Structure 1
Amino acid sequence: MEELIKAIKEIVAEEVIKIVISNKLNKDVEYNKINVVLKINNKDKKYYQVEKFTDKQVFHENIEVNELEKTLNNLVNNKYKQLSAWSSNTTFDLKISKKGKVFLGKKKSNNENLFNKSHNKEKNYILKEGMIIEPLIDLGVFTKEGKVINSKYDKYKQINRFIEIIDDEIKKNNYEELTILDFGCGKSYLTFVLYYYFVEIKNIKVKMIGLDLKADVIKKCNEIAKRYKYDNLHFELGDINGYKYENKVDMVITLHACDTATDYALYNAIKWKAKMIFSVPCCQHEFNTQMKPESLSIISKYGIIQERISALMTDSVRGNLLEASGYKTQLLEFIDIAHSPKNILIRASKANISKDKKEKALNEVDTLIREFNFKPTLLDLLKNDKLI
């Protein structure tokens, strides 16, 4: 114990930038590893952020600079065999033998790059490095140790962006249970990542159903869910257009449902009175084929302009129709998981929308329809079912 105290005192005598505590003494130690990183807050005050990693979660606490020595002694003693630390010009390597003997290696090194990196404003991702998230490992985004593979960092950020958009809505309420339908789930691992987020990070009990048209995809996804022990996630064969579900639905997710398949998914979500809707539309062809401007022919003069504007109009109409159906609706910029061009994500939540606001939303849709001779599928579906 005295040797350890002496070694840690020598380490913290310099301003260490980063510390990694690893190599558990035995399996009963709660955390797989611990990171301690020097930070600077908005008032230029220095502090240390302590990150403690279990298999599935990361726990954070902040400590004052003068608390570092005591904290390290408490964290390491009788729990870990190794501590690595870096100051701006020194690298430390502390190891503890099975018999408790302490060895401290110390060498001069230029760690200025590490120093600069640690003081940059870092993104506080929901899915953090160090978490053992099986879908991200199988997707090739994480190593088995939970480290982001450099070539997959963009995808890692994109997945986190999608989770953040959902989290912004989830944290508004104290949900204990959710029923979630994922239309057109495909063989993407994003559905599995979502399940992990809800169950392991938010501690919400979920029943999650993925729907797709391909039998081989459904079979494979169910096998993967079983392997991950995701007991309340299962996949069914079905078409968005005619899918029937009699129980309550809290959330509907639809990613890259092609053309009017998105409209059918939104229609079902509205019909079920889903609390939340998250949709990333794709291939908005319907308006492009219908567009015949009465007075704005310049819009249809150039094919590429018509295609892009009709896609934006499609999602504007969808947003307004959701609002007219009683949903607070936002259209957000979203980067596709598959590295395709930037896209739009529709986020809608059930809300108390005033009658005047609903009428205005519908009037705006009617004006656009008259000008361009559109016949929106979603509008027909909602009107035929007397939902608006």
Structure 2
Amino acid sequence: MVRMTVTPQEDFATRLDAAVSDGTFARITLGKPRGEDPTLQKLIVRPVTLKSGPHLSFVWRHDTRDLTKNLPPAEAVREISRLIGTVFHSAHLATTRQSAQLEFNRKGEPRLHLGRAVEPPPDTAHDRAKPRLLAPDAQDWLQALGVTNAAGIVREGMTDKHRQIHKFTEILSHLVAEAPLAADRPVEITDMGCGKGYLTFATHDYFDRALQRSARICGVEARPELVTLCNRIAHDTGRTKLSFVGGTIQEAELPDPDVLIALHACDTATDDALARGVKAGATLLVVSPCCQKELRPQLHAAPVLAPALRHGIWQERHAEFVTDALRALLLEWAGYETKVFEFISTEHTARNLMIAATKRPGLARDEATAAKVRDLAAFYGIKTQALARHLSFDF
């Protein structure tokens, strides 16, 4: 009889399947990504108990966001096995009986190492309280702005806003960690078009209370009643480094910002904010555009796209894509390293795109990047665009 040799990868897959089946599975972490997405860091899978029964929760860790998906156990095991050795070249399985680590070398050869058990058994509660970067005393302004009630419970209709505030703070923490902000003086932060100041207050509390870094934060808002409201709440809650001023993005008198934020500045107001940040030499720009209307009348793409672009919905989506793609490329031409990603799930808001740009020493206005901007504009028939005009960039 010929005895079949079990490969390390097959052995690992058997151990994973057995652990999930008998309830000893604690978690599995897949690392060393080799896929096409450069932002992907790792995948963490743990057991959860939902109303529909046991599942495995997949948390895809990216540079600035996490994506979560729950799968039934059998489907989850198949998906994990598919990812090992293809998308990920490292897998660490933890169970209450034993741990197992599968590593692939540069030649793609797997090696299996066994270790100790994990104690205690995993907590499978699905609705565990998520760690927050905002300190408990953020409750005072959350209540004053109508997000929560006196008991700290999120008010009806404010769940999405509450989630957005905390998600923005999480994203900001990653961006700030990567940005070369000055360490010898207070950081100047400006939130353009801040509205009721939800994210301005959150930014203050992240820097002042969580990061404990000296910073001056200013919110700019054209509506005087909101400026008065936010200044009163900042004063009443003892946030002395937080202030709000009236004015437009272009005209407000402000110190040059190190960090410029502009979320949901409508149409070319996003370009006004970006231009002001670039001209001030801001280290970090964070914008979430909306209502990208400027380029739609100019849109005359290559003939191959003409049948599709006769539909209004495709015109609108292409106009949004071209607008934000040109913005990202123009920022790179201006000396910034850019990231474009989903701010928060479209389940909670349709305005979910975020552009983050970090100024990098040595990046210059080179002709190669300028050519990329012009090629994209020419493909869609774009002759002029607000940020390009601000930066004196000719198509």
TM over 0.5: yes
Residues 268, 151 of structure 1: alpha-carbon distance in 2 compared, 3 angstrom cutoff = closer
**Structure (1 or 2) with the larger CA radius of gyration:** 1
How many angstroms apart in 2 are the aligned matches of 1:199 and 1:42?
39
Deviations 1:156-209 (A, max 9, x none): 332221111110022235746210111101124221122111111111121111
Alignment check: 8 A CA contact 1:323 1:353 kept: no
How many angstroms apart in 2 are the aligned matches of 1:337 and 1:240?
27
CA drift of 1:322 comes to 0.6
Residue identity matched to 1:212: E
Question: What SS does the corresponding residue of 1:297 show, helix, strand or coil?
Answer: helix
Pair 1:159 & 2:168 matched: no
Q: Corresponding residue for 1:200?
A: 209
Pair 1:136 & 2:142 matched: yes
Structure 1 unaligned regions, length at least 5: 1-40, 47-63, 67-87, 89-113
- Give the alignment partner of residue 327 of structure 2, picking from 305, 318, 325: 318
- Give the alignment partner of residue 125 of structure 1, picking from 132, 136, 143: 132
Residues 237, 139 of structure 1: alpha-carbon distance in 2 compared, 3 angstrom cutoff = closer
Deviations 1:224-257 (A, max 9, x none): 2111121121111111123444x44211000111
CA drift of 1:144 comes to 4.2
Superposed CA RMSD in Å reads: 3.5
Residues 352, 181 of structure 1: alpha-carbon distance in 2 compared, 3 angstrom cutoff = same
Matches within 5 A, 1:238-387: 238-245=247-254, 247-295=255-303, 296-335=305-344, 339-352=348-361, 354-355=363-364, 358-374=366-382, 375-383=384-392
Structure 2 unaligned regions, length at least 5: 1-91, 98-117
Residues 216, 147 of structure 1: alpha-carbon distance in 2 compared, 3 angstrom cutoff = closer
CA drift of 1:333 comes to 0.3
TM-score under structure 2 normalisation? Answer: 0.62
How many angstroms apart in 1 are the aligned matches of 2:279 and 2:247?
18
Q: Corresponding residue for 2:176?
A: 170
Question: What SS does the corresponding residue of 2:249 show, helix, strand or coil?
Answer: coil
Residue identity matched to 2:327: R
Tell me which moved more, 152-161 or 177-186: 152-161
Alignment check: 8 A CA contact 1:333 1:345 kept: yes
CA drift of 1:152 comes to 5.0
CA drift of 1:155 comes to 3.6
Residue identity matched to 1:253: I
**How many residue pairs get matched?**
279
How many angstroms apart in 1 are the aligned matches of 2:203 and 2:346?
13
Residues 121, 359 of structure 1: alpha-carbon distance in 2 compared, 3 angstrom cutoff = farther
TM-score under structure 1 normalisation? Answer: 0.63
How many angstroms apart in 2 are the aligned matches of 1:136 and 1:338?
22
Pair 1:218 & 2:224 matched: no
Alignment check: 8 A CA contact 1:323 1:329 kept: yes
Deviations 1:119-172 (A, max 9, x none): x887443236x5553222334544545566697554433222111111002223
Residues 192, 369 of structure 1: alpha-carbon distance in 2 compared, 3 angstrom cutoff = same
Residue identity matched to 1:275: T
